[in-house]
Amino acid sequence: MHPIFLQLGPLTIRWYGVMAAVGFLLAAALITLNRKRAGMSENQASTLTFIAIICGVTGARIFYVMENWSTQFRGNFPEVFRIDHGGLVFYGGFFLAMAGIITYCRMAKLDMIRVMDVFTPGLALGHAVGRIGCFLNGCCFGKITHSWLGVHYPEGSGPAMRFAEAPVHPVQLYEAGGNILLTVFLLILLRRSGRGITMAAYMVLYGALRFGDEFFRGDYHYNELWLGIFTPGQVIGLLLIPAGIFILIHFVRKHGQQNHQIDH
């Protein structure tokens, strides 16, 4: 695992940036493919995707910089803009992208809930590819493990320096695999369920996936944990799960009532 994809003289292309770009392209393709389920035109779908990507990257970077300002960015302000070096916090991007989508939907008079339904499979797929980029970059790494799943990072990398080159859990790949399965499930749900259910299912299932996966993370220091136990990602995951369940119950009941009215 090496962070450099290609070196052309002074130009360095990193795996993290390559995989992030691939993730965005796949997410955009999936959203465009399913756009009609939210009544979006091709132009609206591409505009919304662009807004979501810009807001997502911006929010993810802002959260990362806030979390690591004292250790990585104080006295090195230009590094704030080097996204290709890694350093995005998914939840920061998720919330700012949601704000951008909501704003555009109101302006374009689109069904915001159904748009969210269409976006969630693309979000899960793009996130999966991005996590593979994290694995290649050596960020968001796992704790030491002596199981056959353990991976060795090269000398000088973050995981190797933290754990003396011991094998660590490939937590990035755990989450990538979970997101790929989630993508498949959400696509099935999008085609077979009513309004709002796909979005709510994503909140519950991704919250649970992230909460479980974070137990294997090894890149956090003790003072970064809530109550000395939970990572920031786990805390947000614990908030997403009940919120998603509440929304899911609401839309399942609403869908059931509509079906009952049609039957009568």
User: ∠ CA 158-131-212 to the nearest 5 degrees?
Assistant: 90
Torsion angle defined by CA atoms of residues 175, 218, 140 and 66, in that order, rounded to the nearest 10 degrees? 120
d(CA 214, CA 143): 10
Helix H or strand E segment including 119 = helix 112-137
Tokens encoding 175: 């989450």
Residue 36 one-letter amino acid: K
Residue 71 one-letter amino acid: T
pLDDT tens-place values along the chain, 264 residues long: 678 888 887 777 888 888 988 999 999 999 999 999 999 999 999 999 999 989 988 888 888 887 777 777 777 777 777 776 666 777 788 889 999 999 999 999 999 999 999 999 999 999 999 999 989 988 889 999 999 999 999 888 888 889 988 999 999 999 999 999 999 999 999 999 889 999 999 999 999 999 999 999 988 876 677 777 788 889 888 999 999 999 999 999 887 766 545 555
Domain that holds residue 29: 4-263
Number of domains present in the structure of the chain = 1
d(CA 256, CA 235): 32
